[in-house]
Amino acid sequence: MNWRLLASKEFGDAIRNYQLYAMAALFGLVFGVFGYIHVRNVRRARVYDYLSAPEPIEFVTMLSLLCIVLIPATGLMLSYEAIVKRRDGGQLTLMLGMPHDRRDVVIGSLVGRYLVFLAPLLLGVVVAVAIIFGFGSTVPLAALAGFTLATASLGLAYVAIGIGLSGLLRSPSWAAVCAFGVFMLFVFVWRVVPDGVVYLLSGLEFPDELPWWRPYVATLSPSVAYERVLDAYVFNRASEDAPSAFGVAVLLAWVILAPLAGYLQFDRADL
């Protein structure tokens, strides 16, 4: 029960320091702009070349490309200092003197920070849909619902990673550095890691046939796993070498294992 109180405190703090409002403004503005761009493209095609009018699903595609970068950045930004900042400032000593234990701190921080992420995301989707329907265009609601669920899962994975880092480290500065490193690694660098591993294990040359495990290694990044899930369950373009079900498992594993690793280190560390 105590973790619920801490989660409520996290959410309330985000309201009091205007962090929630800033996130809501960011998602509402960005998603709204993308919705308007889609409407403008549809209207322009109707005037000049009806055959080239964008399909409604293209709006979801645009949002997914945006979220590949936006969601990891906001998820990590919200969570990387959740525990370590209080620990560095001495607030945890007071907090743990109340009827809370360290597990409550980790779970409450995870749930509270995720709610701060989720509310603006849902607001952004609603704003975009309102703009599209308001201008007389359409959007595939089933695909948009699948996109929203997958994106919320990606956000949960990165919030969980940030909470894990916050529990593992003692310095807010190091937590910030590691959060940036995680962002760069999983969003950009990991896309070349599988080929690099294949190249090294094949004697510094690429084999004629790529090994079966390569797509699984690629999908270990939560961002790549998110793309696999979207391809399979939203855009219906999954391929045999891109394990979509494994992508779901990877996102779930990050949600569980990252905070668990942070908790295990945090639980045995001196404040």
DSSP assignments along 2-39, one per residue? HHHHHHHHHHHHHHHTTHHHHHHHHHHHHHHHHHHHHH
Q: Give the C-alpha separation, 131 to 271, whole Å.
A: 49
Q: What is the pLDDT of residues 133-187, one digit of tens each?
A: 999 888 999 999 999 999 999 999 999 999 999 999 999 999 999 999 999 999 9
Q: Would the pTM count as exceeding 0.85?
A: yes
Q: Give the C-alpha separation, 268 to 262, whole Å.
A: 10
Q: Is the dihedral of CA 184, 221, 147, 59 positive or negative?
A: positive
Residues with Cβ within 8 Å of 102's Cβ and at least 6 positions away in sequence, in order, are 96, 263, 266, 267
Q: What is the pLDDT of residues 193-243, one digit of tens each?
A: 999 999 998 888 888 888 889 999 999 999 999 999 999 999 988 666 666
The number of angstroms, rounded, from the C-alpha of 76 to the middle of its chain's C-alpha atoms is 8
Q: Is the pLDDT of residue 55 over 90?
A: no
Residue 96 CB neighbour total at 10 angstroms: 15
Domain boundaries, given as residue ranges, for the chain:
2-187+219-268
Q: Confidence class of residue 271 from pLDDT cuts 50, 70 and 90? A: low
Q: What is the pLDDT of residues 85-112, one digit of tens each?
A: 988 777 776 666 565 688 999 999 999 9
